[in-house]
């Protein structure tokens, strides 16, 4: 009698295992979310203060800017929520060998872990933002156009894929560099800045904005949020998605090349 | 007191030896410290380049606030941050026993054991920015004002240390609260923005955050010559009261230390 083998089952187990792992230290997780809320509040009140003497600033109304700030918290949980930041340590400590000798795909394993991480963080982020909306009554801009909502969802998925590739590539530094936390930290700060995580990129002076848009990172947060706010002209939206997809393809290809080169350099040290 | 100065001198020397032994790690830390300092300054410059004033603070004063925050947090990271990161590990793995049996004040030992020399580079970045800003604004600072600024800066560091220590002491009851330090990094960031910004919060949250708003604002107001008695008294009183409370709370908490993992 043959039994049906579901190849996805092992990854579903990874998702449920990861979820159990993240929720095991509940107080730590709650503190992590408290930190996130505090960060949102600081940025929120900063913009609230700046808009107290302006109706429109940098081309944004107060409502649009506060929507950008609050919504970026949810998008951040989806796009930047990842467990691939442990990849460098996995390589450095020789634990990559565990993946190489088992019938499990390293990339799919981390995709599954990322899904668990994103699901948990999104759950909390949505609840927090809802609470902040109830408490602060911010003039949030609600997008009613289904087409735009659909396009912004596609942009979020594109950002998620892009960040998975970028974060994995940073982790792969571990193949060649033992002390890689500083380059990773620096690159993460640069990525967060150029992704529009601190403020919308189009408030930057023109040369900085041009630099930011020539990098792939603006497709992580800035682009999905601009699509949601309806600020991407219909004439350029196809081109924008095209460039975003091009970046995804380039980074996916780079990921494969670096992975193969890395495996050749991998010596399973400390094992 | 002399004994503690001698111990600290020895700790400085030991930390320097460790630094020389792990040079690449030190270089990494220095690069990260400088880059983060420069990045904070650049982001606030860009953010405010079209804004002339916020809540009565001119753009230049807000930039000065960021520079002073960089100096203060650099000093704090040099002296204390690493120790707080070690703090939760000491409690979680029961290693605090080794500290408790030494014939030295335990709060002193857990607070000063590690020195992060890379943090000094953040101080240099912040100080250079303040000097540049004062020069660009053609403001001359008399020595007496500079001395008051430094005294308030020290009081600010003491206040920040006390707040961190009070929070870190909670790990005695909740040893798995290992990321409390991450939360405190965010809490510290509150001090770099004008106090008036937080007055929009409900009064109990504002009261909770109030001590933090004195940490950098008071030294900067002293520097630009508009410090009020409320700022001065507020900073010094909060610094000493919270330091006193942190000591009492630590001594109280130690009664509940179970050395679970040792």
Q: What pLDDT is stored for residue B240 in this prediction?
A: 96
Residue B174: which of A27, A53, A179 has the nearest Cβ?
A27
Binary contact (A32, B179; C-beta < 8 A): yes
B-chain residue closest to A37, CA distance = B186
Question: Helix %, strand %, coil % for chain A, to 5?
Answer: 75, 0, 25
Nearest CB to B47 within list A32, A53, A199: A199
Give the mean pLDDT of A158-185. 88
Under 8 Å CB pairs connecting chains A and B tally to 85
Q: Say whether A45 and B29 touch across the interface (CB within 8 A).
A: no
Contacts of A199 in chain B (CB under 8 A): 47
Q: Does B54 touch chain A (CB under 8 A)?
A: yes
Answer yes or no: is B259 within a domain. no
Pairwise CB contact (< 8 Å): A189 & B183:
no
Angle formed by the axes of helices B229-254 and B143-169, nearest 10°: 30
Cβ of B32 and A49 within 8 Å? no
Residues written for chain B: 262
Task: Look at A50 and B36 and tell me if their CB atoms are within 8 Å.
Answer: no
Mean pLDDT calculated for residue range A4-29 = 81
Q: Could you tell me if B174 lies within 8 Å of chain A, comparing CB atoms?
A: yes
Give A-chain residues touching B47 at CB under 8 angstroms: 198-199, 203
Q: Is residue B260 part of a domain?
A: no
Q: Does B193 touch chain A (CB under 8 A)?
A: yes
- The answer to whether A50 contacts B190, with C-beta atoms less than 8 Å apart, is no
For the residues of A8-62, what is the DSSP string, one character each?
THHHHHHHHHHHHHHHHSHHHHHHHHHHHHHHHHHHHHHHHHHHTT-SEETTEEH
- B261: in domain: no
Yes or no, beta carbons of A45 and B200 under 8 Å apart: yes
Residue B70: its pLDDT value, please?
94
Residue B38 C-alpha, separation from nearest chain A C-alpha, in angstroms: 11
Instruction: Tell if the CB–CB gap between B201 and A53 is shorter than 8 Å.
Output: no
Q: Do A35 and B183 touch (CB under 8 A)?
A: yes
Q: Does B203 touch chain A (CB under 8 A)?
A: no
Residue B170 within any structural domain of the chain:
yes
Instruction: Mark yes or no for CB contact A50/B54 under 8 Å.
Output: yes
The answer to whether residue B187 neighbours chain A at the CB level (below 8 Å) is: yes
Contact at CB, B46 and A204, closer than 8 angstroms = yes
Interface contact flag, B178 A28, Cβ < 8 Å? yes
What gap in Å lies between CA A236 and CA B213, rounded to an integer? 45
Mutate to test the interface with A, among B168, B179, B196 (most CBs of A within 10 A): B179
Residue A1: pLDDT above 60? no
**Whether A31 and B53 lie within 8 Å, measured CB to CB:** no
Chain A contact set for B192 (CB, 8 A): none
CB contacts under 8 A, A 181-240 vs B, are: 181-183, 185-186, 189, 193, 198-199, 203-205, 208
Look at residue B71 in the predicted model and tell me its pLDDT. 95
Contacts of B49 in chain A (CB under 8 A): 205
Q: The tokens of B20 are what?
A: 């020389």
Q: Does B49 touch chain A (CB under 8 A)?
A: yes
Q: Domain containing B126: what range?
A: 2-254
* Neighbouring residues of B135: CB distance < 8 A, sequence distance ≥ 6: none
- Does residue B262 fall inside a structural domain? no
ipTM surpassing 0.85: no
Q: Which pLDDT score is estimated for B113?
A: 94
Quote the pLDDT of residue A195.
92
Residue ranges of chain B with per-residue pLDDT less than 50: none
Chain B residues whose beta carbon lies within 8 Å of the beta carbon of residue A32: 179, 182-183
| Contact residues for A123 (Cβ-Cβ < 8 A; gap 6+) | none
- CB pair distance less than 8 Å for A45 and B198: yes
Give domain status of residue B74, yes or no. yes
pTM of the entire predicted model: 0.83
In a domain, B54, yes or no: yes
For B115-167, what is each residue's pLDDT tens digit? 999 999 999 999 999 999 998 888 888 999 999 999 999 999 999 999 999 99
Number of domains in chain B: 1
Residue A3 Cα, gap to closest chain B Cα (Å): 44
Residues A212-223 pLDDT 10s: 999 999 999 999
């Amino acid at each position: 009698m043959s039994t049906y083998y579901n190849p996805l089952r092992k990854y579903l187990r990874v998702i449920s295992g990861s979820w159990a792992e993240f929720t095991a230290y509940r107080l730590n997780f709650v503190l992590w979310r408290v930190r996130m809320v505090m960060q949102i509040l600081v940025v929120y009140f900063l913009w609230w203060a700046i808009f107290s003497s302006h109706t429109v600033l940098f081309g944004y109304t107060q409502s649009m800017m506060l929507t950008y700030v609050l919504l970026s918290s949810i998008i951040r949980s989806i796009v930047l929520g990842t467990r691939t930041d442990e990849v460098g340590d996995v390589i450095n400590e020789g634990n990559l060998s565990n993946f190489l000798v088992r019938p499990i795909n390293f990339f799919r394993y981390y995709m599954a872990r990322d899904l668990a991480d994103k699901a948990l963080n999104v759950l909390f982020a949505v609840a927090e933002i809802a609470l902040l909306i109830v408490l602060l009554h911010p003039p949030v801009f609600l997008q009613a156009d289904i087409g735009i909502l659909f396009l912004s969802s596609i942009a979020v998925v594109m950002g998620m894929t892009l960040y998975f590739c970028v974060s994995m590539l940073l982790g792969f530094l571990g193949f060649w560099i033992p002390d890689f936390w500083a380059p990773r930290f620096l690159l993460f700060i640069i990525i967060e800045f150029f992704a529009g995580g601190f403020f919308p990129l189009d408030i930057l002076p023109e040369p900085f904005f041009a630099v930011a848009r020539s990098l792939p990172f603006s497709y992580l947060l800035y682009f999905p949020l601009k699509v949601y706010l309806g600020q991407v002209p219909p004439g350029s939206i196809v081109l924008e998605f095209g460039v975003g997809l091009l970046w995804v393809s380039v980074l996916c290809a780079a990921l494969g090349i670096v992975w193969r080169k890395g495996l050749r350099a991998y010596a399973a040290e400390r094992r | 007191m002399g004994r503690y100065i001698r111990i600290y001198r020895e700790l400085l020397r030991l930390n320097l030896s460790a630094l020389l032994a792990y040079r690449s790690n030190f270089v990494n830390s220095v690069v990260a410290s400088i880059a983060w300092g420069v990045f904070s300054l650049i982001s606030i410059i860009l953010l405010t380049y079209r804004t002339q004033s916020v809540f009565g603070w001119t753009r230049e004063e807000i930039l000065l606030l960021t520079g002073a925050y960089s100096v203060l947090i650099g000093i704090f990271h040099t002296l204390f941050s690493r120790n707080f990161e070690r703090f939760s590990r000491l409690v979680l793995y029961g290693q605090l026993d080794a500290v408790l049996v030494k014939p030295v004040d335990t709060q002193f030992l857990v607070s000063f054991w590690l020195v992060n020399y890379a943090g000094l580079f953040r101080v240099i970045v912040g100080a250079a920015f303040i000097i540049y800003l004062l020069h660009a604004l053609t403001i001359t600072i008399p020595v007496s004002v500079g001395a008051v600024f430094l005294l308030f800066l020290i009081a600010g560091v003491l206040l920040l240390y006390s707040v961190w220590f009070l929070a870190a002491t909670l790990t005695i009851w909740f040893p798995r609260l290992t990321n409390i330090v991450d939360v405190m990094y965010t809490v510290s960031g509150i001090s770099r923005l004008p106090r008036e910004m937080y007055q929009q919060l409900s009064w109990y949250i504002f009261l909770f955050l109030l001590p933090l708003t004195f940490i950098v604002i008071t030294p900067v107001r002293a520097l630009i010559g508009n410090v009020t008695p409320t700022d001065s008294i507020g900073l010094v009183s909060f610094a000493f009261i919270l330091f006193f409370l942190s000591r009492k709370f630590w001594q109280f908490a130690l009664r509940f230390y179970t050395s679970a993992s040792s």
